[in-house]
Amino acid sequence: MDKNNKITLTKEGLDNLKKELQELIKIKQPEIAQKIKEAREMGDISENAAYDTAMQEKAYIEGRAAELEELIKSSSVANCSSDGTVCVGSKVLVHVDGTQEEFHIVGPPEANPMEKKISHESPLGSMLMGKKIGDKFEVEAPIGILTYTILKIK
């Protein structure tokens, strides 16, 4: 979180959280309510696996919805300046260890290393923040020290 206790997100990331919350409220909660109703109609709920499963699913949906509401309430959209420095929302092309890689700098809830989306709070993300094209820096990794050079910022 930043100094205002806000979680910084990209606009896309905040939109995705809002979309997921709406899906939980408008689609998943009514579906699970129907499953619970149908399971109750089967009779004795004390040994009703369908009822137990539906209630577990209901608890998960309610917990996730509460988590999303809190995230959305405590989030702010990154305001990336156009001064040529890396900030939340930037896509950064780097040269490292003989190869080129592109990373998208995002807020912590958006991070997905498989998609090369890295949090600005991660070790690499925090090293990239504020850097400009041509800047070099080193990161200690399990395979040793890697030298990164920033080639492009979008």
The model's pTM: 0.78
Q: Is residue 147 part of a domain?
A: yes
The string of pLDDT tens digits covering residues 111-128 is 999 999 999 999 999 999
Q: Which residue among 22, 50, 77 closes a domain?
A: 77
- Kindly calculate the radius of gyration of the chain based on its CA atoms and give it in whole angstroms: 22
Q: Is residue 102 part of a domain?
A: yes
Do 72 and 122 fall within a single domain? no
Q: Which residue among 55, 77, 99 closes a domain?
A: 77
What is the span of the domain harbouring residue 12?
7-77
Q: Is residue 83 part of a domain?
A: no
The Cα 53–Cα 141 span in angstroms is: 43
Q: How many domains does the chain have?
A: 2
Contact 59, 66 (CB under 8 A): no
The string of pLDDT tens digits covering residues 20-51 is 999 999 999 999 999 999 888 887 777 778 88
Strands (E), the chain: 7-9, 75-77, 91-96, 99-106, 117-119, 136-141, 144-153
- 113 burial via Cβ count (<10 Å: 0-12, 13-18, 19+): exposed
Question: Which residue type does 58 have?
Answer: K
Do 54 and 101 fall within a single domain? no
Q: Is residue 1 part of a domain?
A: no
